[in-house]
Amino acid sequence: MPIYEYRCGTCGFQKEFLQKLNDSPLTTCPECGKESFSKMLTAAGFQLKGSGWYATDFKGCAAKPEAGKDSGNSPAPGPSCNGCACAGNG
C-alpha cells in the first residue's frame, strides 16, 4: 500500500497516511476539521517488510576494493562470500 502525504491549506498540518490505491483522497483536516486537506506531490514512499532479498542476499560479502589501490587483479572472495558479485567476481 502506498504512503501519501497530506497538508492542510488552512492550518498547515501535515501528515503521512497509508492508503489503498482505490481509497478516496482525504479532504477533512484531522487537526482543524476544515475541508482544506489535500494530497501533496512527494517522492514515492514504501515500506520493506518480511524476509525478502534485501535482508538476506549478499549479507556477508566484503566491500568492493577502492579504485586506484588495486593492481588489476580481483581479490579472492572471503570465506563468508561464496563467490558473489559483490567481491568483484561478477
User: What is the Rg, in whole angstroms, of the alpha carbon atoms belonging to the chain?
Assistant: 23
CA distance 41 to 25: 13
The residue assigned the cell 515500506 is: 47
The answer to whether residue 90 is domain-embedded is yes
The answer to whether residue 10 is domain-embedded is yes
The answer to whether residue 49 is domain-embedded is no
The answer to whether residue 29 is domain-embedded is yes
Enumerate the β-bridge partners of residue 14: 7
Q: In 3D, which of 14, 7, 16, 22 has the Cα closest to residue 47?
A: 16
Q: Assess contact for 2 and 17: CB atoms under 8 A.
A: no
**Is the confidence at residue 21, as pLDDT, over 50?**
yes
Query: Which is more confident, 46 or 87?
Result: 46
**Is the confidence at residue 52, as pLDDT, over 70?**
no
The answer to whether residue 75 is domain-embedded is yes
φ, ψ at 8 (rounded to 5°): -85, 130
**Is the confidence at residue 90, as pLDDT, over 50?**
no
Domain that holds residue 31: 3-39
Total domains in the fold of the chain: 2
The answer to whether residue 45 is domain-embedded is no
- Taking only the tens place, the pLDDT of each residue in 24-43 is 999 999 999 999 999 998 87
Winning range, highest mean pLDDT, from 19-23, 54-58, 61-65, 70-74? 19-23
Assess whether 33 and 62 both reside in one domain. Answer: no
The answer to whether residue 47 is domain-embedded is no
**Is the confidence at residue 55, as pLDDT, over 80?**
no
The answer to whether residue 28 is domain-embedded is yes
